A and B are shown apart, each in its own frame.
Chain A
């Protein structure tokens, strides 16, 4: 089955630690995205990538980093510089960056303890 897989579903992190969220897609989509979801604020764009080895900052990139070494994979690292990392993180992909719908993974709930 084609789709987007995010892992893990739940993640706990101690303050001061970096943590990496995985996102893999087998839809052969060029574009991939990371969104953060907080209660009452909808989805906010962290980073997006149009093609392999290229990515751009979204609206709230501070404290996050990404890589796009393979078309299928777009991991997100939440660094210790992110002041309030506890949130629900959604990865998405689309055929192209522009004018097209996105398909989403099931999300990762990150909690800082």
Chain B
């Protein structure tokens, strides 16, 4: 079975600062994808960023970037220049040949 672990239930960051959310995973598959989803108070799940496991280069989407360490099975999300609209629950997810599995989430609060 594949697992996704987010060890930080809650985090906070000052507006304009940088914050990193942690995620570790375990899978026996060699081909898989990793994702970070954002769930704001509206509860709509929004894809933030994706990383293909076969790519060594870390994915970047504007202020969002990942640190993908395949050997360590680690997939952290860095948010730069945090904005109030970044306040949300963030989920790490793993998609492989077996299924799409989510972590338990990290509630991020951006403070003014």
Contacts and interface: CB of A to CB of B under 8 A. Distances in A.
B43 A101 contact: no
A25 interface: no
Contact of B43 (A45, A48, A98, A106): A106
Contacts of A102: 93, 95, 100
Nearest to A40: B104
Contacts, number: 51
Interface string B7-41: 00100000000000000000000011101000000
B62 interface: no
Contacts of B43: 88, 106-107
B53 to A, nearest CB: 9
B75 interface: no
Contacts of B91: 42-43
A42 B105 contact: yes
A53 interface: no
A94 B100 contact: yes
Given A35-B102, A42-B103, 19 more contacts: A33-B100, A41-B104, A42-B6, A42-B91, A42-B102, A42-B104, A43-B91, A45-B101, A48-B99, A92-B45, A98-B97, A99-B96, A99-B97, A101-B33, A101-B35, A101-B50, A106-B42, A106-B43, A107-B43
